[in-house]
């Protein structure tokens, strides 16, 4: 079962990066911020209903860290999830690279996360707060079995809303793996700024897991 769960996390994260970042790279000029936001949201809905029964469809190290701190999974499995997610993000970004490499207009654009010069504080605050809300919402929604049929939709809509606010600020990460894959192919400034899109969401995930376990959990 663990192998299937890790495979689901790999494939799910690859799909999230391919659809979400791919929409920005190949269709961004046509669909705008709203369309890109919806692409990320629909991608997570697809993954949640397709792979949720196998792994919970975290597809995000911040979510996995939150689940671990909340007491929902052992640390060894959490590490496996995070590795699978990062590899999946690389695979999704790799597909984007293979397609975009023959399109000069998109050279160097792989949906990477970036913040403007002088906007470090704004990026840190947004990524932490948005990830905290996202992970806390996921933990709360999935803690009730009666939410099973609508959980994926609720999570997807939340991610859409977060992207609508965050794309102009950072491109919206709230997911270290989603940032890691594209940054490897983009290089340059994306790699230089990658630390923020790893640290802020990861810390937020841990804090959300702690808050859920100590304050909001019904157990």
| Average confidence (pLDDT) over 18-31 | 95
B/e letters for 4-33, b = 16+ CB within 10 Å, e = fewer, are ebbebbbbbbbbbbbbbbbbbbbebeeeeb
Q: For residue 148, give the nearest of 20, 42, 57, 41 by alpha carbon.
A: 57
At residue 162 the predicted structure's pLDDT band, cuts being 50, 70 and 90, is very high
Task: Give the model confidence (pLDDT) of 85-111 as tens digits.
Answer: 999 999 999 999 999 887 765 556 899
- CATH code of the domain containing 122: 1.20.1080.10
Q: Which three-class secondary structure state does DSSP give residue 183? A: helix
Q: What is the mean pLDDT of the chain?
A: 93
Domain carrying residue 183? 1-216
Q: For residue 173, give the nearest of 218, 116, 111 by alpha carbon.
A: 111
Structure tokens at 34: 């709203």
Residue 162 near residue 134, CB atoms below 8 Å: yes
* pLDDT of 128 over the 80 cut: yes
The structural domain count of the chain equals 1
| Average confidence (pLDDT) over 68-77 | 96
Q: 0.85 exceeded by the pTM?
A: yes
* pLDDT of 202 over the 90 cut: yes
Lowest mean pLDDT among 25-34, 104-113, 155-164, 204-213: 104-113
Task: Give the model confidence (pLDDT) of 171-187 as tens digits.
Answer: 999 999 999 999 999 99
Say what angle helices 2-55 and 151-170 make with each other, to 10 degrees.
Answer: 100
pLDDT of residue 106: 56
Give 68-116 as a DSSP string. HHTTSS-HHHHHHHHHHHHHHHHHHHHHHHHHHTT-GGGTT-SS-----
């Amino acid at each position: 079962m663990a192998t299937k769960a890790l495979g689901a996390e790999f494939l799910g994260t690859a799909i999230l990066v391919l659809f979400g970042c791919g929409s920005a790279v190949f269709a961004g000029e046509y669909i705008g911020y709203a369309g890109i936001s919806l692409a990320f949201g629909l991608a997570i809905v697809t993954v949640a209903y397709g792979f949720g029964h196998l792994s919970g469809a975290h597809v995000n190290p911040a979510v996995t860290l939150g689940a671990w701190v909340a007491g929902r999974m052992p640390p060894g499995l959490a590490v496996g999830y995070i590795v699978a997610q990062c590899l999946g993000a690389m695979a999704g970004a790799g597909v984007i690279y293979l397609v975009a490499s023959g399109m000069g207009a998109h050279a160097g654009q792989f949906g990477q996360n970036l913040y403007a010069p002088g906007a470090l504080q704004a990026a840190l605050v947004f990524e932490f707060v948005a990830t905290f809300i996202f992970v806390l919402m996921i933990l709360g929604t999935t803690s009730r079995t009666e939410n099973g049929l609508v959980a994926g939709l609720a999570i997807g809509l939340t991610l859409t809303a977060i992207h609508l606010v965050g794309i102009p600020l950072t491109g919206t990460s709230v997911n270290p793996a989603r940032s890691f894959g594209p940054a490897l192919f983009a290089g340059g400034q994306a790699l230089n700024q990658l630390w923020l899109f790893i640290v802020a969401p990861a810390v937020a995930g841990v804090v959300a897991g702690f808050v859920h376990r100590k304050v909001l959990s019904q157990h």
